Chain A
Amino acid sequence: MENNNKISGDLLLHTSVDVARCYQCGKCTAGCVLASEMNFPPSYLMRLLQTGTEENYERILRSNTIWLCLNCENCLGRCPMEIDIPKVMDYLREQSLNSNKLHPDAKPIVSFHKSFLDSIKYTGRLYEVGLIAGFKARSFRLTQDLKLAPKMYLNGKLNLMPEMIKDRKGIGEIFAKTIDNPKTKHK
């Protein structure tokens, strides 16, 4: 029988996950280390997807659940139906970002990811000072971790100069074709 629902259909296409297989046992939630911090836990998210309604999908994209998920994969490791929840989370994150439906809690997390990726785009490797500077600029957490910086430097763990790879152009092109490509937003 054909599945007529667009939401679960698209999900199946991009993640190979069939939401109908989830029988709501809750084992994922039982083992999720951050379930208590989320708007709703992973098994509830699967149920919202199962209903297939736009309203519930909106709730998911606007939740902090998808951003708090650490992709620790404990859920997939224990799920009796082997449902790839981490992959679903990655997909939902991209959807949430592309449709601008971020939960306020998600902003610092997204800022961090963006700063991380910016750093790689220009040097090819992670430049930690650049990452922190970018993050502080985006999140306005100017005084966070100020105490740690000197100790990191003294322990030899903080490189003041970035390591630049030779093929920075190649990296730039990768970014241009993927995350910075205006055509690939909203799949």
Chain B
Amino acid sequence: MKIGFYPGCSLKGSSREYNESVVAIAKALDIELVEIKDWNCCGATAAHSMNEELSLSLPARILALAEAQGLKEVVVPCAACYNRLMVTQHELKDDNKRGRVTDIIKMSYSGDLKIINVLQMLETYAMDKIQAKVTKPFAHKVACYYGCLLIRPHKILQFDRVEDPQSMDTMIKLIGGNPIDWAFKTECCGAGFSVSRTDLVAKLSGNILQDAADRSAEAIIVACPMCQSNLDMRRGAINETLSKPSDIPVLFITQAIGLALGVSPKELGLERHFVTVKL
């Protein structure tokens, strides 16, 4: 089956392994990803913090491009991009806003595109296939970390539940893993402060890692490039705030599934991580 695909800037750069793993498991599960042509950055945190119209126009252009390309459904693996696209689609239901934004982007926009995240894509199209194709059960005790943007605001995203979400946990169980019940599933990792306030990222991500470590998790599973980057790339800074440095690796959910399906670690980009993935 075919589905539209919006990688976003992180998947092309600092979270390249997320892209690789998404592509790898899509191939294994017979899902053809059709990338939106000439897509632009969604604006992420910077746009909505600085100017509302910009923050709506950039995603609107992406949605308009997808529509023009004839795509009906688009999967957005990056949680931040997913959030921005969904929020924009919701805000543009208001006639005034839609009028202003379509004027700005000078493209036609209907708002009918179905936007899903990578977990929804797997839940809708691949659950039986995954179950059937597991060759190396992912027999590990892991902490599923959802972060903020995948789940909230619930009114707009309508995905999973706001406290103690379960979609990744279910996925992990499906591939033979053991997801733990822990306390920091949805507490923010420090988001876009990776560069401007690394100290805050170290503190917030540190709390997350500490709880996972206290509960003997072997790995943390994520579905957001920012979370992965904060927990992985910034491990040095985090370890300075912990009483005991932690070497718990941080994997994308698609990487975990890939491993269970027998895809090689290299193809899944596991060698690009800062914290060595030895599972």
Give me the interface of A with B, judged by CB distance under 8 Å.
Answer: 14, 33-34, 37, 68, 70-74, 76-77, 82, 84, 86, 90-91, 93-94, 97, 108-114, 116-117, 120, 124-126, 128, 132, 135, 139, 144-145, 148, 151-152, 155-159, 163, 165-167, 170-171, 173-175, 177-179, 184
Could you tell me if A73 and B153 are in contact, using CB atoms closer than 8 angstroms?
A: yes
Apart from A114-B46, A124-B38, A156-B16, 4 more pairs, CB < 8 Å: A112-B192, A112-B196, A128-B13, A167-B40
Pick the residue among B14, B53, B152 that contacts A178 (CB under 8 A): B53
Count class of interface residues, chain B: 35 or more
Judge whether B43 is part of the interface by a CB distance below 8 angstroms. yes
For residue B148, CB closer than 8 A to chain A, the reply is yes
| B41 A120 Cβ-Cβ under 8 A | yes
Contact B9 A37 (CB under 8 A): no
CB <8 Å contact, B43 and A120: yes
A125 close to B191 (CB less than 8 A): no
Main secondary structure of the interface of B (DSSP, over half): helix
Q: List residues of chain B with CB within 8 A of the CB of A144.
A: 195, 198
Partner of B46, one of A72, A117, A151, A167: A117
Contacts of B187 in A (CB 8 A): 33, 72, 74
Nearest to A111 among chain B residues (CB) is: B196
Whole-angstrom distance between the alpha carbons of A37 and B106 in the complex? 42
In the assembled complex, the Cα of A73 lies from the Cα of B58 at a distance in Å of 21
Q: Does B249 contact A (CB under 8 A)?
A: no
* Whole-angstrom CA separation of A113 from B51 in the bound complex: 11
Set of chain B residues within 8 Å of A109, measured between Cβ atoms:
193, 196-197
Question: Please, which residues of chain B bring their CB within 8 A of the CB of A159?
Answer: 12-13
Chain A residue with minimal CB distance to B58? A174
CB–CB B13/A174 < 8 A:
no
On chain A, the residues within 8 Å of B16 by CB distance are 156-157
